[in-house]
Structure 1
C-alpha cells in the first residue's frame, strides 16, 4: 500500500465504511492508517 498516498488511503477508508464493505477490508485499511500514524489505534 505504499504507493497509495495518505489522502487516497483516508478517502478509501471513509468510502469503505460508508458503503459498508467487508470488515476485513476496512480493518486492513485501518491498520495501514495506524502504521502511517494517521489515526490512533483502538484500545
Structure 2
C-alpha cells in the first residue's frame, strides 16, 4: 500500500466502504491512513 498516492489511498478507503468490502481489508487501509496522518482527509460518515 505504500505505493499508493495519498489521494488514491483515501479514494480506496471510500470505495471499499461503499462496496462493503471485508472489514479486515478496510482496517488495513485505515491503518495506512493513520500511519500517513491523513485522518483529517477522510469523512467518517460510514
TM-score, normalised by the number of residues in structure 2:
0.82
Which consecutive unaligned segments of at least 5 residues does structure 1 have?
none
Shift, 1:2, TM fit: 1.4
Q: Which residue of 1 aligns with 2:35?
A: 35
Count of paired positions: 40
- Cα shift readout 1:8-29 (whole Å, capped 9, x = no counterpart): 0000000000110000000000
Which consecutive unaligned segments of at least 5 residues does structure 2 have?
41-46
